Amino acid sequence: MSDALVPYDEALAAFDPAMGLEVHIELNTVTKMFCGCPTEFGAEPNTQTCPTCLGLPGSMPVVNGKAVESAIRIGLALNCDIASWCRFARKNYFYPDMPKNFQTSQYDEPIAFDGYTDVLVDTADGSEVFRVEIERAHMEEDTGKSLHVGGSTGRIQGADYSLVDYNRAGIPLIEIVTRPIMGAREKAPAVAKAYVAHLRELILGLGVSDVRMEQGSLRCDVNLSLAPIGTGELGTRTETKNVNSLRSVERAARYEISRQAAILGSGGSILQETRHWQEVSGVTLSGREKSDADDYRYFPEPDLVPVAPSEEWVRSLKDTLPEPPRVRRDRLQKEWGFSDLEMRDTIGADALGLVEETIAAGASPQAARKWWLSELARRANEQDVDIASLPITPAQVARIQALIDEGGINDKLARQVFDGVLAGEGTPDEVVAARGLAIVSDEGALSAAVDAAIAANPDVAGKIREGKVAAAGALIGAVMKDMRGQADAGRVRELILEKLA
Amino acid sequence: MGDLIRRSAADLADALAAGETTSVELTRVHLDRIAEVDGAVHAFLHIDTEGALAQAAASDARRAAGQLASPLDGVPIAVKDVLATDGLPTTCGSKILEGWIPPYDAEVVARLKAAGLPILGKTNMDEFAMGSSTEHSAYGPTHNPWDLDRIPGGSGGGSAAAVASFQAPLAIGTDTGGSIRQPGAVTGTVGVKPTYGGVSRYGLVAMANSLDQAGPVTRTVLDSALLHEVIGGHDAKDSTSIDQPLPALVDAARRGAAGDLTGVRIGVVKELTGEGYQSGVQQRFDEAVQLLVGAGATVVEVSCPNFVHALAAYYLIMPSEASSNLARFDAMRYGLRVLPEGIESPSAEDVMRATRDRGFGDEVKRRIILGTYALSSGYYDAYYGQAQKVRTLISRDFDTAFYSADVLVSPTAPTTAFRIGEKLDDPVAMYLNDIATIPANLAGVPGLSVPAGLADEDGLPVGFQVLAPAMADDRLYRVGAALEALLEKQWGGPLLDRAPTLEVAR
């Protein structure tokens, strides 16, 4: 059974959307939040555990100082106040993937609070700055990961049994919560996407997390509600989870606007609940009913002492923050000589960092931009994945351009090299070798092919002899076809003109 | 050598040093004693014969090589079953942990092992340390060696009874509201709750994290000081551990035993005497205070007006923390797992419910319910929040009192040992046992209980409590050792010499 939807424009004609975005960032600390276990992604299940992160009786937590430092730096980068004294709290609820049946988190004393960040949002006529207010950023530990076996959906309903991997239990998380984002109107989904992209860029710049959505090191929950247009009220919200890509953030917000508008428009009311985004079908499905009465019985964690960062420490962290994303963009645009439009497209394709790294690996700015924005953005779109998750590195893109610059391949062959690298056939050089893609630079073979083309096309050859140089294109095409594209078209042209001079 | 088991740990250490005995022999005589009397006392839940003898042999080898690990190297000890022991069962007196064998040692246990003390076994306790009589153990009650029909106090009744019945020269207890001191009082032994943060809680299965503290259970004040120095001091694995060196405890005990308390100001806490205290308890207490005066101390009466709220605050804070701590016992990872009856394919939640229903005893369930309620939204401020404010006021009362006194004194428990079963149906009467010990836990200050004699009306032991400011644990030992020396001079020997002889099973 699918939910009724109203067209997006119709929904906005009647309602104002309000959003609250909760983003969880997994920090890239070497060890967990409260113990010395490693945090490496992808290890064998339950091999990165100890009495503390398994919640064994008697075990105790010790705060990871690096995680506190990362939390403060994130808070500062979001223009937050940093608490001079704050505590951890226990959030009590039962779930098999939570070893202690409480999560050590922060409640009414977050490490960072009252901040904002300015997000660049694409609009029909350029881009505009939208200020997102940050309510808080707090520290907590991740839970283990449940794997539901059997059943068709991979969800707990209908599963035969469940397995739990506690490697993830205790990984440090920073939860960043926005104040309600109002007044974005039809741009609300775009603001949501731009905010998450912006956060990702900001946190990458801080170097405190890998922020890879597909690996879950950045997770976004989209709270969304509608209120009758112009009332400025907050309606009943839903919280959509499982939003694992930037595109999904936008799509999920858009879907919820259409879905909620259909319910409200027909006189119904919104059920306050958790919903799950379905990447493939592009819908949200009802999850657990959630109410404000959910009682987590928070109280200060008695096994930990308060975190009290000194003013000097906070100041020194503030003084050493990297440049903010907007400053960085302006600097890069100047360095690369991009037009406003080129810069906007690069950011819009979520390729700024990729282009930067590609240039750092030796490619020219225009070449880097060309490959990421044409070839690779198109492929990401076709496959419906984030561009950053394509299985190719900026260094590989730079290498492909270098092969072109060296005359080893041409643009057409380069596209085949991209195919090969993306298909997992190896590095660009390996793909060139394996697929035999190198340009034929054997003058003898080339000369013979040109002679053959002239012989096969006497009419065209005649025209060229008469000085109609433009006709050479037909002969070049014939030679390239003969050489299966593996020839330098410029050299072929030279040869044709020499022979027919 | 038949009297080896009756000697103090300090004496045994001397005997080992003099080559009069070996650690293996000491360990064996205590294991034999356990075999003889523990059927009647039931102080132990688990005995590690093999492990203890191996540790003893290692100790003897160290001694032969002239590489002693500590002054108590080779002296055996019993450990309360609430501390994790690598490879040895740890049940906390609960069915829900039946069969659980920890993969790691509590820091206290690690320090005992590093110091060379063979661990005889794990001692009985009220389930998850919830009780004042050891009747709430899921494995049956421990009996008081002075009268087997009576309780040995709790929750650490097993450790106190083991030491009182000469099954172990030393034991470790834990004290959340009096669980070391009150059993010490009613069994005629010495028990010390160190300053909060003075002994690592890592591996101590928490009842109430902000109150729990492990400490020594012994027959003499000097033995407690020796043991305290082995287990105490900073531990980076416990964030609440104090990063400061311990005061010189053994020195303080030795100095106190010389009997001179000139210049020491003793504060008698007005709110911890009088009404509610058994007459024989009050009498022995008053006489003890006079003995201290005789040794040169000055006595002042101090008032701690907020102590009257201590019990109420304690019974909000402790169950609140406990309700959260005990949530992890859910049958998912370790311990008991009960499949509910009449459910075709039970969910994780069904299994959790059935396991917790079967695995926890009534007193544990009572406290989980109390704590869950006190932390609930809408009640938090009125209960948990309010209790924390009382806690602050009690700390201030201590601060004020320690302005005019170096130590505070009171009877340890309001009564002598009651009969098994007598208070089981009246939780509040049971809770009142800890009325004099709870304030120290709420404020984090250290406390000691030392035998003060026998009550005239029932001939049962009475405990004398000494309290000191945080990190001034040395004062406990100085005053406690002085009183012990003065009383033993009067009695002509240790109080335990007057305990009835236990029938020995052959």
pLDDT tens by residue, A406-454: 888 888 889 989 999 999 999 999 988 888 887 776 778 888 888 888 8
* Torsion over CA: A434, A437, A442, A446 (sign): positive
Residue B439: what pLDDT? 98
Check residue A289 and give its pLDDT. Answer: 67
pLDDT at A116 over 50: yes
Parallel/antiparallel/unpaired status of strands A172-178 and A126-141: antiparallel
CB pair distance less than 8 Å for B328 and A55: yes
Closest C-alpha to A358, from A347, A348, A371, A345? A371
The string of pLDDT tens digits covering residues A347-378 is: 878 888 899 999 999 999 999 999 999 889 99
Question: How much is the pLDDT for A290?
Answer: 62
Which chain A residue's Cα is nearest to B328?
Answer: A100
A92 contact residues in B (CB cutoff 8 A): 323-324, 327, 375
Interface of A with B in 158-187 (CB under 8 A): 162, 164
Q: Give pLDDT, residue A447.
A: 84
Mark yes or no for CB contact A57/B236 under 8 Å.
no
Return the higher-pLDDT residue of B80 and A464.
B80
Tell whether B322 lies on the interface with A, counting CB pairs under 8 A: no
Structural contact between residues A312 and A101, judged by C-beta atoms closer than 8 angstroms: no
pLDDT for residue A143: 95
State in words which class domain A443-499 has: mainly alpha
* B334 Cβ under 8 Å from any chain A Cβ: yes
pTM: 0.88
Whole-number pLDDT of residue A467: 83
What is the reported pLDDT for A461? 86
The reported pLDDT for the residue numbered A79 is 97
Do residues A15 and A227 lie in contact, with contact meaning Cβ atoms separated by under 8 Å?
A: yes
B133 is a catalytic site residue: no
Average of per-residue pLDDT across A169-181: 97
| Chain B residues touching A99 at Cβ < 8 A | 328, 333
Cα distance from A295 to chain B (closest Cα, Å)?
Answer: 6
Residue A191 has pLDDT above 70, yes or no: yes
Is the pLDDT assigned to residue A399 strictly greater than 80?
Answer: yes
pLDDT, residue B335, reads 95
**Token pair in block for residue B130:** 């919830």
Active site residue B423: no
Does B324 contact A at CB distance below 8 Å?
yes
Closest Cα in chain A, distance from residue B359 (Å): 15
Question: CA–CA separation, B123 vs B79, rounded Å?
Answer: 6
- Report the DSSP beta bridge partners of residue A132: A117
Antiparallel, parallel or unpaired: β B298-302 and B214-218 = unpaired
Residue A215: the pLDDT is 83
- So what's the pLDDT on residue B211? 98
Predicted local distance difference test score (pLDDT) of residue B1:
42
Query: Using CA atoms, how far apart are residues A310 and A72, in angstroms rounded to an integer?
Result: 11
* pLDDT per position as a tens digit, B277-325: 999 999 999 999 999 999 999 999 999 999 999 999 999 999 999 999 9
Nearest to A178 by CA among A169, A190, A191, A161: A191
First to last CA, chain B: 19
Check CB contact under 8 Å for B330 and A92: no
Residues of B in Cβ contact (< 8 Å) with A100: 327-328
Q: What is the average pLDDT score of chain A? A: 91
pLDDT above 90 covers a percentage of chain A that reads 62
Please calculate the CA angle A371-A376-A381 and round it to the nearest 5 degrees: 145
Rounded CA separation A391/A254 (Å): 29
Mean pLDDT of the region A478-496: 82
Q: Mean of the pLDDT values across residues A391-401?
A: 94
Kindly determine whether residue B90 and residue A102, on different chains, have CB atoms separated by under 8 Å: no
Instruction: Name the residue facing B210 among A59, A297, A302 (closest C-beta).
Output: A302
**Among A59-63, A194-198, B181-185, B409-413, where is mean pLDDT lowest?**
A194-198
Cis peptide before B155 (omega within 30 of 0): yes
Domain ranges in chain A are 8-316, 323-435, 443-499
Please tell me which residue of chain A has the smallest CA distance to B325: A100
Residue B113 annotated in active site: no
**Residue among A294, A96, A329, A75 at smallest CA distance from A203:** A75
Q: Which residue ranges of chain B lie beneath pLDDT 70?
A: 1-2, 506
- H/E segment holding residue B45: strand B44-47
- Of B467, B290, B323, the closest CA to residue A298 belongs to B323
- Give the whole-angstrom CA distance, residue A75 versus residue B208: 33
Nearest-CA distance B191 → chain A (Å) = 22
CA distance B489 to B481: 12
Identify the pLDDT of residue A122: 79
Could you say which of B8, B132, B133, B179 is catalytic?
A: B179
Please give, rounded to a whole number of angstroms, the shortest distance from the CA of B243 to a CA of chain A.
Answer: 13
A155 pLDDT band (50/70/90 cuts)?
A: low
Using the beta-carbon criterion (under 8 Å), do A58 and B333 form an inter-chain contact?
no
Choose the closest CB to A102 out of B202, B210, B324: B324
Q: Does the beta carbon of A56 lie under 8 angstroms from any beta carbon of chain B?
A: yes
pLDDT of residue B50: 98
CA atoms of A72 and B64, how far apart (whole Å):
56
Q: Which of the pair, A214 or B2, is modelled with greater confidence?
A: A214
For residue B407, give the DSSP letter: E
Distance from CA of A386 to the nearest CA of B (A): 36
Q: At what angle do helices A352-360 and A394-405 cross, to 10 degrees?
A: 50
Domains and CATH numbers, chain B: 4-307+391-498 (3.90.1300.10)
Tokens linked to A269: 């009311």
Closest approach of chain B CAs to the CA of A44, in angstroms?
Answer: 18
The alpha carbon torsion through B49, B52, B53, B54 (nearest 10 deg) reads 120
Contacts of A303 in chain B (CB under 8 A): 201, 206, 209, 238-240
Encoded tokens for A1: 């059974």
Put simply, the answer to whether A305 touches B239 (Cβ < 8 Å) is: yes
The Cα-based distances of B183 to A398, B108, B177 in angstroms read 76, 20, 11
Q: Do A297 and B352 touch (CB under 8 A)?
A: no
* Mean pLDDT within A280-290: 83
| B100 to chain A: closest CA residue | A57
